[in-house]
């Protein structure tokens, strides 16, 4: 029976995991088995976090647009968006929120055109 040497492969794999676990507290950064579990968990959370980030930013943009529209036009956000669609103004919420913060005049012109 042939003796298979794979010590360097296993060591590389363990070193990679322990390198990723740097900064974790206690045995979570020292012991391979515990660190491996924590890395898998952390990678799962980062994947979910990227999805949550998109949701949170969209909510923030909607809040910003709504506050400006209600302040100057006294209509709801949903009716403002539907009027923009009716007028075939294809601006996404991110851009509308940027206008609401930095260049309110452009957004006010859009609101005036709606009325």
pLDDT in tens, 28-60: 999 999 999 999 999 999 999 999 999 999 999
105 token code pair: 């005049």
Number of domains in the chain: 1
Rounded CA-CA distance 9/114 in Å is 66
CA 111 to CA 115: how far, in whole Å? 7
14 within 8 A of 32, measured Cβ to Cβ = yes
Q: Give the C-alpha separation, 94 to 91, whole Å.
A: 8
**Tokens encoding 45:** 């959370």
Q: Is residue 2 part of a domain?
A: no
The verdict on residue 33 lying in a domain is: yes
Mean of pLDDT over the chain = 89
pTM of the model: 0.73
Residue 1, in any domain of the structure: no
Domain around 40: 7-114
């Amino acid at each position: 029976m042939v003796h298979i040497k794979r010590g360097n492969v296993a060591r590389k794999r363990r070193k990679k995991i322990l390198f990723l676990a740097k900064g974790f507290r206690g045995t979570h950064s020292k012991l391979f088995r515990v660190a491996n579990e924590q890395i898998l968990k952390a990678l799962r959370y980062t994947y979910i976090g990227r999805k949550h980030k998109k949701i949170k930013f969209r909510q923030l943009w909607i809040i910003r647009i709504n506050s400006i529209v209600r302040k100057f036009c006294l209509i709801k956000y949903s009716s403002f968006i539907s009027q923009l669609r009716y007028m075939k103004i294809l601006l996404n919420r991110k851009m509308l929120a940027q206008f609401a913060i930095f260049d309110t005049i452009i957004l006010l012109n859009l609101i005036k055109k709606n009325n």
